[in-house]
């Protein structure tokens, strides 16, 4: 059953990618959301790890952004878990939901586990997904992301979150990721001009 769940999720993500041209508005539509930002967050994983994460995004053109992140966590100072990602995100306003963007993203991932007594495990993989960002009010956004990663035993995750703008440049971000290792994320996002 677990294999069926992962397979159906991958098919759904590919379906989103193929349906994007039919659902998206013309690239000339002004975006509601900025894809130029730096974000610093506290992360807490179900497996007992906690630490920090730094995310960044930079628009390369009106609908394509370069993304990167680095997460560093540990568990009671006995195991360190680090994750680095570098990727691209295609973002597009939706025709039927004018207050929403569909974001299709893919990234290269490199993870490392450092155990006590100098044991070390490093793995590289890929991740991809589809995210929907929705503007509830001018200063309040909700988002949902369905994603897949090939790291370690492969995993499918559903992330739900919110973004509350304190002013035109600074926002508070909160998210819950539901996967094999659930994650809580609380952060501050600074928009780049």
- The pTM for the full model equals 0.83
Give the pairing of strands 64-75 and 50-61.
Answer: antiparallel
- Furthest CA-CA distance within the chain: 56
pLDDT tens-digit readout, 11-50: 444 444 444 454 444 443 556 799 999 999 999 999 899 9
CA distances from 8 to 140, 144, 179 (A): 32, 18, 15
The pLDDT of residue 154 is 85
Please state, in angstroms and rounded to a whole number, the distance separating the CA atoms of residues 142 and 133. 6
Please state, in angstroms and rounded to a whole number, the distance separating the CA atoms of residues 91 and 143. 13
Res 3 pLDDT > 50: no
The length of the chain is 193
Q: Whole-number mean pLDDT of the chain?
A: 87
pLDDT tens-digit readout, 44-74: 999 899 999 999 999 999 999 999 999 999 9
Domain at 74, CATH number: 2.40.160.20
Domain that holds residue 148: 2-191
Please state, in angstroms and rounded to a whole number, the distance separating the CA atoms of residues 73 and 85. 15
Q: How far is CA 152 from the centre of its chain?
A: 18
Q: Which helix (H) or strand (E) holds 51?
A: strand 50-61
The pLDDT of residue 22 is 46
Number of domains in the chain: 1
Res 1 pLDDT > 80: no
């Amino acid at each position: 059953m677990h294999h069926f769940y992962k397979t159906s999720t991958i098919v759904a993500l590919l379906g989103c990618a193929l349906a994007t041209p039919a659902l998206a508005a013309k690239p000339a539509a002004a975006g509601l959301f900025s894809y130029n930002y730096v974000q610093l967050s506290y992360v807490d994983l179900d497996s007992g790890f906690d630490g920090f994460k730094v995310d960044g995004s930079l628009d390369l053109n009106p609908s394509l952004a370069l993304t990167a992140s680095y997460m560093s966590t540990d568990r009671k100072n006995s195991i360190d878990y680090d994750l680095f990602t570098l990727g691209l995100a295609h973002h597009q306003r939706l025709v039927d939901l004018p207050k929403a963007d569909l974001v299709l993203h893919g990234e290269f991932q490199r993870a490392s586990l450092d155990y006590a007594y100098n044991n070390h495990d490093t793995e590289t993989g890929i991740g991809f997904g589809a995210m929907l960002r929705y503007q509830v009010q001018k200063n309040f956004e909700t988002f949902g992301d369905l994603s897949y990663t090939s790291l370690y035993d492969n995993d499918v995750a559903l992330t739900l979150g919110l973004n509350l703008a304190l002013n035109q440049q600074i926002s508070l971000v909160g998210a819950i990721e539901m996967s094999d290792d659930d994650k809580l994320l609380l952060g501050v996002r600074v928009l780049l001009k």
